[in-house]
Amino acid sequence: MKTHLFLLSLSFIFWCSSCQKEVLISTDAEHQFFLESDGAFLPVFVDGNTASKTFVIFLHGGPGGSAINYNDYDLFDEIERDYAVVYWDQRCAGSAQGNCQKSSLTIAAHVRDTELLIALLKHRYGDDSSFFLMGHSWGGTLALSYLLTNNNQDYIRACIIVDGMPNFTNYHEKVTALINHHGNQQIELGKQASKWEKLLDETSSLDQHTIEGIGRLNQLTYKAESLMQQVDSISTPSLSPGKGLGVLFSSPQNLFSSLSNNLVSGNAMAEELIAFNITDELPQLSLPMAMYWGKYDFVVPLDYGQTIHEKISATEKELYVFSQSGHSPMFQEQALFNSKVKAFLKLHR
């Protein structure tokens, strides 16, 4: 009898907890849900101050990266105090699940997913919510593509592009010039000279007309960034090993799915991205925009940020260069990055 009562109470507690109504408006929200789009299950995490009714939608890099990764490292905790940050893993990316087909890995499908996500956020948090986009790297490219589709910029209060590309034109020349510039400087100073020489040799020998050549160049840009980190031009993120271990074992992310998705998405979208160019459409963008760039970004050189800044018709625009950052200022100059973002959000909310 006692056992029966115990089991009954246990079931009741379980039932009650599973039926608990989610509190959507909070100053310290930690919400998780999924968006189903065309067979793909896309995880969405909304963290922070949903009571502010201001949502910063973070578009991760890649294609094939993960927004959960940025959340695991608590990069935007400072922003979450005042606003809600939306971490969303795109189709075939990070820990997204389901049946995402290779054929659906297009910029148009990603734009459609972003539209659906914003509609869903309105559905959950109310029509009075306001939305900001913050796109990093490929996420910046996606943000620009989204804003230039239909009348999407009407739904967005303002946008932050962090080291993202509006086109792939002359990518090889721009990247090679930057690597040569800093590489030769470092060789003259005798800092990691042999490594730089090797890097410069390989960079100049790459075939710029093949996807493999561009893919390899992309890998070399990260190598250049790590060399600049060793001479303290780029600050090294202070992420503790304990944190890394915690992320590895207790994160919603799945390390293997992230690796597999990254590989699949990157390869599937390479051809479309190499041909990508929306520079001529940039004057259509009239919403407030900020371009945040790392001075030593070899992956997406500052030149691209300057192009966006020059071409958009927005009257409220800002180009800010993080002097000790490479491709990821939110990791490399976290405190400064967050204060810049918060100031921008405060100005335009």
Partner 1 sequence: MKTRNMLVFLFLPFFAMAQTENAKALKISYYGDFFSHPGIKIGYELPLRYRLKTKEKKGVDRPKHKFQLLELATTFYYHPGNHYGLLLIPSYTFRTVKENGKKQDWSIGLGYHRSFLTGPTYSMDQEGDFIIQKGAGQNTVFASLTYAFGRDYRWTKQKPWAWDIAFGVNARAPYNSSVLFGIHTHLGVSYFLNY
280 binds partner 1 (CB under 8 A): no
Does residue 21 interact with partner 1 by CB under 8 A?
no
Shortest gap between Cβ of 243 and partner 1 (angstroms)?
Answer: 15
- Is residue 66 a contact residue for partner 1 (CB under 8 A)? no
* Beta strands 97-98 and 29-37, pairing class: unpaired
Q: Do 105 and 91 meet the contact criterion of CB atoms below 8 Å apart?
A: yes
Is the CB of 68 or the CB of 214 nearer to partner 1?
68
Sole binder of partner 1 in the list 26, 41, 81, 106 (CB under 8 A): 41
User: Which C-beta is closer to partner 1: that of 43 or that of 61?
Assistant: 43
Binding mask 297-326 for partner 1 (x = CB under 8 A): ------------------------------
332: contact with partner 1 by CB under 8 A: no
Footprint of partner 1 on 198-257 (CB under 8 A) = 249-257
Residue 98 binds to partner 1 (criterion: CB under 8 A): yes
The nearest distance, CB 157 to partner 1, in angstroms, is: 22
Which one-letter amino acid corresponds to residue 209?
A: H
Nearer to partner 1, 103 or 205 (CB): 103
The window from 117-125, 136-144, 185-193, 200-208 that contacts partner 1 (CB under 8 A) reads 117-125
Q: Return d(Cα 183, Cα 224) in angstroms, integer.
A: 8
Nearest to 332 by CA among 226, 254, 174: 226
Kindly state the number of chain residues that form the binding site for partner 1, as judged by CB under 8 A: 41
| Cβ at position 246, least distance to partner 1 in Å | 10
Instruction: Tell me the closest approach of the beta carbon of residue 25 to partner 1, in angstroms.
Output: 17
Minimum distance, C-beta of residue 245 to partner 1, in the bound complex (Å)? 10
Instruction: Report how far apart, in Å, the C-alpha atoms of 317 and of each of 168, 206, 285, 320 are.
Output: 23, 36, 11, 10
Q: Is 26 one of the binding residues for partner 1 (CB under 8 A)?
A: no
7 binds partner 1 (CB under 8 A): no
Burial class (CB in 10 A: 0-12, 13-18, 19+), 273: middle
By the rule CB under 8 A, 49 interacts with partner 1: no
Alpha-carbon gap, residue 107 to 79, rounded angstroms: 28
270 binds partner 1 (CB under 8 A): no
With CB under 8 A as the contact rule, the residue among 8, 24, 36, 316 that binds partner 1 is: 36
| Residue 68: CB minimum distance to partner 1, A | 8
**Within 75-94, which residues bind partner 1 (CB under 8 A)?**
91-92
279 contributes a contact to partner 1 by CB under 8 A: no
> Which of the residues 118 through 147 are near partner 1 (CB under 8 A)?
119-120, 123
Q: Does 106 bind partner 1 (CB under 8 A)?
A: no
Considering the complex, what minimum distance in angstroms separates the CB of residue 95 from partner 1?
6
Q: Of 246, 338, 249, 256, nearest to 66 (Cα)?
A: 256
- Cα gap 212→208, rounded to integer Å: 9
Residues forming contacts to partner 1 in the complex (CB under 8 A) are 31-37, 40-41, 43, 45, 68, 91-92, 95-102, 105, 116, 119-120, 123, 249-257, 260-261, 263-264, 268
